[in-house]
Amino acid sequence: MPSAPSSSCPTTFRRCASGGCPRRRALADDTEMACSIARVPRTAGFDQDALARSFAEHHDFDRGYGPSMNRLLRLVRQGEPWRDLAAGLFEGQGSWGNGAAMRVAPLGVRFAADLPVAAEQAARSAEVTHTHPEAAAGAIAVAVAAGFAARGRAEAVTGAGLLDVVLDLTPASKVRAGVEQARLLLDQPHVELAAHTLGNGRLVSAVDTVPFTLWCAARHLDDYPAALWACAAAGGDVDTTCAIVGGIVAAHVGTAGIPAAWRQRVEPLPPWFFGHAAASWSALARTLPGERHPCVCCGRLVHDRPPGSHDICPLCFWEDDAVQLRLPAAAYGPNRISLVDAQVNARDIGACTQRDLSFVRPPQPDEPVDPDWRPIDPLRDRFEDPDGETDARLPWPTDHTTLYWWRPTFWNPCGR
């Protein structure tokens, strides 16, 4: 759903508030996942497996997903069971982030006529990616709020009534305790105080996000712009807080309550949401080995996309990150280990790290090693210093395959 052009940067916020925002704002992960939430129940009944497939099929790395969600969805796309992956996050605790809450408003609207069912289905939607009880509580609270708000098109509803219903249906949790605080703060108008007391999403957790967003929605249930500007003014995880509040308030005011200028500035919803033909990853035939790209860690031809696409190797669990390909001695990035060290581990134990062993499988006959691939040789291969001055580096090559050190086309900026 459209949200206010927003940023946690005060300068950007002031510029946007005065009308100086860019003409077109890209959709974020919040909206992309909300589209799956909205579409799956309509096309197949509420099916957790179908929802997991939709999340994975339409996952776009550039939409701003968090590292753990990027990895989980790529693995689901590669055929790994979503239940095991979701339950295994954060050392078996499951994710308690705000991702399940940020996407769930359409589900609440769908079940507006029966809010206890909305709560039950919200918990099931959360479980696909977020198994921690606090994440489920956050999703329940937002879904119930959106469903209650949607009733306002046919009956009188109030912000206080919204919070009361949420408290009735949200299970005992830190999220619910935060909503209780939001109810106590409802009559005070200061967004800074509310954000200081309830959180503003800065910790990216359901506990730190949902109570404040429900306060914003309840305070501004009839005023979509005011609700979203309150989120933007509070800073923190602004795109997520705006997505949650926007979903709840839009359920009440409808499209007519969203400024036309905002609707014109937001990227259109993806074509697949409307049922247009879109190739399913599960229906695509694998490319031939000669058309694939190698995993730079183990050398096997497993990737259908060029380097830097953030695909995960099913054989060693290396995430194909272009920065770590360019700076193979760097231990930062999605893999949390340098490419040089990961290659040693892949050779010795069969995975990039010990913790990745449960995610890898043996190679298939059609997954040979690239004939010319070899591990990095620190004495032979010259790379940039990962701790060097960023501003002094050359621009990125347009063809990331020139970062393959074993090929004659290797882009060796250190030798220039």
Domains and CATH numbers, the chain: 10-274 (1.10.4080.10), 287-416 (no CATH)
Residue with tokens 């619910």: 176
Q: What is the pLDDT of residues 211-235, one digit of tens each?
A: 999 999 999 999 999 999 999 999 9
Task: Say how far apart CA 170 and CA 172 lie, in whole Å.
Answer: 7
Helix, strand or coil for residue 366? coil
Q: Does position 46 have pLDDT exceeding 90, yes or no?
A: no
187 known member of a binding site: no
φ, ψ for residue 205, nearest 5 deg? -110, 160
Give CA angle at 158 (153, 161), nearest 5°.
115
In this predicted structure, what is the pLDDT of residue 1?
40
Of 409, 414, 403, which Cα lies nearest the Cα of 326? 403
304 known member of a binding site: no
239 known member of a binding site: yes
Between 206-219 and 191-198, two packed helices, what is the crossing angle to 10 degrees?
Answer: 150
Higher pLDDT, 155 or 195: 195
Q: pLDDT > 90: what percent of the chain?
A: 62
240 known member of a binding site: yes
Higher pLDDT, 1 or 67: 67
Strand partners, 205: 97
Amino acid sitting at position 344: V
pLDDT tier, 23 (very low <50, low <70, confident <90, very high otherwise): low
168 known member of a binding site: no
Q: Considering only 13-17, 118-122, 267-271, 376-380, which range has the smallest mean pLDDT?
A: 13-17
The 10 Å CB-count burial string (b at 16+, else e) for 394-403 is eeeeeebbeb
Task: Say how far apart CA 228 and CA 29 lie, in whole Å.
Answer: 18
Task: Say how far apart CA 94 and CA 85 lie, in whole Å.
Answer: 9
In this predicted structure, what is the pLDDT of residue 44?
46
Task: Say how far apart CA 31 and CA 240 lie, in whole Å.
Answer: 9
In this predicted structure, what is the pLDDT of residue 153?
75
Which run of H or E residues covers position 228?
helix 224-234
Higher pLDDT, 385 or 316: 316
φ, ψ for residue 265, nearest 5 deg? -90, -10
- Helix, strand, coil fractions of the chain, as percent rounded to 5: 55, 5, 45
**Mean pLDDT of all residues belonging to the chain:** 87
Give CA angle at 376 (72, 293), nearest 5°.
50
Q: What is the pLDDT of residues 384-400, one digit of tens each?
A: 877 766 555 678 888 99
pLDDT tier, 275 (very low <50, low <70, confident <90, very high otherwise): low
Question: Which tokens is 150 given?
Answer: 């949607």
